[in-house]
Amino acid sequence: MFEAEISKRKTFAVIAHPDAGKTTLTEKLLLFGGAIQTAGAVKSNKIQKSTTSDFMEIEKQRGISVATSVMSFEYRDKLINILDTPGHKDFAEDTYRTLTAVDSVILVIDCVKGVEEQTERLMEVCRMRKTPVIVFVNKMDRDGKDSFDLLDELEKKLHISVQPLSWPIGNGSHFKGVYNLVSQSLNIFTPGKQKLTDDYIEFKDLTDPLLENKIGKTETAQLQEDVSLINGVYPPFDVPAYQAGDLAPVYFGSAVNNFGVQELLDTFVDLAPTPKHRETNLRIVEPNESKFTGFVFKIHANLDPKHRDRIAFVRICSGVFKRNTFYFHVRNGKEMRFNNPTTFMASQKNVVDEAYPGDVVGLYDSGNFKIGDTLTEGEKMMFKGIPSFSPEIFKEIINKNPLKTKQLQKGVEQLTDEGVAQLFRSYHGSRIVVGTVGELQFEVIQHRLLHEYGAEVRMEHLSYYKACWMTSTNKSKIEEFIKYKGSNVFRDKDENFVYIAESSWMLDVAIKDFPDITFHHTSEFKL
């Protein structure tokens, strides 16, 4: 029974550059999977109606995804767990962490824009973790790049071998459909089609006269030429190479028109790996081990704005997670029990009694969890590979209403716990400084502080270069440094000393003048 539950699960993330159609594709996968009955008006203004996975108020207003959504549904006797990630580069850190919690990825490419900068960064993380990738080339109903040129661009910029398993017939206003190279069937494209059934026509081969009747003489000749070239270049598709992260199958379609989504979903179910092993600081953890383990990859405050709740998202790595059972919080050294663990369908939450490797559960949290925390049945180990970044932009948060000081303190604590921003408090004085990797995060924090906590703030930009965590075997050296650069010394949320340098030159001087202090560019030294 336990092994059967593991083999049922497919857990993946949908990743893309902003505006490539990632959230639209996610929603259409849910539609085809029967998880939702109607799609959001993804082509209209999202202020009026937003897509299923965009549930935070600021996401609805801006029409972008800034938080990772977790959604589950059953399809063809499999339990599919989708993690829809932020596309915006300012929230890349959240996406990088989410990639640690999945077993495979669907990468969405805009056929008009091709491979963009954020896509390259995301693929770097996938390659580093050897995560299997399926590529979906979206928006084929728009005039875009030549399909062969796109394949070359994918290989050149993403540094991964690709192989088309379907092939488009034209694009833009001349887009006629997609030919499935595996089943040798044609899927006819109907513009504006919103029904959930594809028009497949099977052929003995590409010389079948019915093909010319369906797509035209010129298009048939071009398809015959293209397929001949593809068959000459690519060998039969190598599934083990895909599952090892070395080869990416490519599909073409138009998510907003529901076109090619069924094909993609079916291929994903057939090819994508079941839950894989995970590495800890002590050993490799296999999913079929009897004892439960899991790690926190995301924390979200106020998932429901009506209730001041805070939820830690936990990826289950081995064993069976059971409701009302005590588990060991490794970092805190405490036993903890969870009365209402939840699974998710976008903003809908359901209490769950059991969960298995590959599943993501939400645990209500009063402040015990941090990103990267590990839960076990007693074994003292920590899962590895939760990325951490030094902030690039710094702003001081200034309270506009002294009567809301408590609300501000609580809001800043909880929102920075989510991992998209880092909180620093001045060693001398009471300054609150937030560091992020992008400007948009400040807008989100300011909006959420006001609307979720009632704290109105202004943010003043600080001309800082980089935050570095300081450690030394000689405590007096840290004290000496504080006397020397006290106004630039802060404490992070874990009370670690942080030096926020004003320039690269100032940081170099500090490193040279204080050789007994180690300046860390990430906070991962704490592990």
- Phi/psi region, residue 101 (left: phi>0; alpha: psi -120 to 50; beta: rest), is alpha
What SS3 state is found at 434?
Answer: strand
In single-letter form, the type of residue at position 487 comes to S
In three-state secondary structure terms, 276 is coil
DSSP string for residues in 379-416: ----B--------SEEEEEEES-GGGHHHHHHHHHHHH
| Residue 527: predicted pLDDT | 41
Beta-bridge mates of residue 321: 355
Please give the model's pTM, rounded to 2 decimal places. 0.76
Which letter, b or e, does each residue of 299-329 get, where b requires 16 or more Cβ atoms within 10 Å of its Cβ? bbbbbeeeeebbbbbbbbbbbbbeeeeebbb
pLDDT value, residue 62: 46
Length of the chain: 527
Q: For the chain, which domains are there?
A: 12-69+76-173+236-271 (3.40.50.300), 278-376 (2.40.30.10), 393-526 (3.30.70.3280)
CA–CA distance, 294 with 360 (Å, rounded to integer): 9
Specify whether the CB–CB gap between 268 and 165 falls below 8 A: no
Per the DSSP assignment, residues forming a β-bridge with 364 are: 311
Q: Which residue type occupies 366?
A: S
Spatial separation of the C-alpha atoms in residues 407 and 133, rounded to whole Å: 43
Residues 6+ apart with CB under 8 A from 286: 277, 318
What is the residue-level pLDDT of the chain in tens, covering all 527 positions?
788 999 999 999 988 888 888 888 888 888 887 766 555 433 333 333 344 444 445 444 544 333 446 788 889 999 999 887 765 454 556 677 788 899 999 999 999 999 988 788 788 878 888 999 999 999 999 999 999 999 999 999 999 999 999 999 998 888 988 999 988 888 888 776 555 555 667 776 788 887 888 888 899 999 999 999 999 999 999 999 999 999 999 999 999 888 888 889 999 999 999 999 999 989 999 999 999 999 998 887 655 555 556 788 899 999 999 999 999 999 999 999 999 898 865 446 688 899 999 999 989 887 788 888 999 999 999 998 665 567 878 999 999 998 888 999 888 888 887 776 889 999 987 899 998 877 877 888 888 899 888 999 999 999 999 899 999 999 899 999 999 888 999 998 878 899 999 999 999 999 999 999 999 877 655 54
Residue 68 sits at φ, ψ, to 5 deg, of: -75, 125
